[in-house]
Amino acid sequence: GQHPTPQQGGPQRLAGVDRIVAIASGKGGVGKSTVSSNLAVALARQGRRVGLLDADIYGPSQPRMMGVNKRPASPDGKTIIPLQAHGVTVMSIGFMLKEDEAVIWRGPMIMGALQQLLTQVDWGPLDILLIDLPPGTGDIQLTLCQRTALTGAIVVSTPQDVALLDARKALDMFMKLKTPVLGLLENMSTYVCPNCGHEAHIFGHGGVAAEAAQLGLPFLGEIPLDLSVRLAGDAGTPIAAGEGPVAEAYARLAQRLIA
């Protein structure tokens, strides 16, 4: 006879995890991973139990950005114990690889790895699990949206046209897969010169808010283009762990996500 597998019967929930939110982008390099780590840290600072799953299998950034990288323990050879950093429970395929080691796998192996990261990791009780997706609209996004009970997705874009063009495709994918879009976030928005305070719009400004308005989707705010964001990410202590205007912007975003 037919034995139902966990994949059947609609999207899977993770035991003990209240909300699963994917952070997506159309294009690489717009700051999706940076937003994921900072939002996770901001949520943790507000007392939320937060998990961060780095699903960017080909280019995992979270070991570097969260400043944590060692092979996770697996006492029973099956359950994987995730790592902890800045109050966040973190899991990344990067923990299993050397930092300059490439993942040269075909689709089915990638899907297997993703499935393991979701279901074999002991996420523990969480208020929210953030998933840092790879850029674009490929296999990983498709499988995740179809198999996992996502609360919704946040789409990150920079304001310039080429990024927005791709962001629109990501939005189109979520709509077609019936994954709720929680909103759009503009990253690398206004640049304030650290010397003279002059404001410049290197990648433009306001494009993402306009796009959100046109699509009738929530606009979640803007994060400035700021050297300290990049330095903090490279150093493994997200800017949201400190004080200042960017940390405050992430605190507002975190509050908005779990009201």
Q: Show the tokens assigned to 109.
A: 């192996």
Stretch 188-227 residues interacting with ligand ADP (CB under 6 A) = 188, 223, 225-226
Distance, CA of 203 to CA of 163 (rounded, Å): 9
Site size toward ligand ADP (CB under 6 A) is 18
**Residue ranges in 90-129 that form contacts with ligand ADP under rule CB under 6 A:** none
In whole angstroms, what is the distance from residue 213 CA to residue 45 CA?
30
Determine if residue 236 is labeled as part of a ligand binding site.
no
Q: What b/e readout covers 131-162, taking b as 16+ CB neighbours within 10 angstroms?
A: bbbbbbbebbbebbbebbebbebbbbbbbbee
Please give the structure tokens belonging to residue 85. Answer: 């950093």
- Contact call for residue 33 and ligand ADP (CB under 6 A): yes
Minimum CB distance to ligand ADP, residue 233 (Å): 4
Does the protein bind ligand ADP through residue 230 (CB under 6 A)? yes
By the rule CB under 6 A, 32 interacts with ligand ADP? yes
Q: Does 41 bind ligand ADP (CB under 6 A)?
A: no
Q: How far is the CB of 7 from ligand ADP (least distance, A)?
A: 28
Q: Which of 13, 16, 29, 175 binds ligand ADP (CB under 6 A)?
A: 29
| 105 vs 191, beta carbon nearer ligand ADP | 191
The only residue of 21, 43, 61, 160 in contact with ligand ADP, by rule CB under 6 A? 61
Min dist. Cβ of residue 16 to ligand ADP (A): 27
> Of the candidates 20, 21, 24, 25, which one interacts with ligand ADP according to CB under 6 A?
25
Neighbouring CB atoms inside 10 A of 83's CB total 21
Does residue 251 bind ligand ADP (CB under 6 A)? no
Say whether 68 counts as a known binding-site residue. Answer: no
User: Which backbone phi and psi does 220 adopt, to 5 degrees?
Assistant: -95, -5
What is the helix (H) or strand (E) element at residue 126, kind and residue range? strand 126-132
First to last CA, the chain: 46
148 bridge partner residues: 12
Helix (H) or strand (E) holding 162: helix 161-176
Q: Which is closer to ligand ADP, CB of 50 or CB of 223?
A: 223
For binding to ligand ADP (CB under 6 A), which residues are involved? 25, 28-34, 61, 135, 187-188, 223, 225-226, 229-230, 233
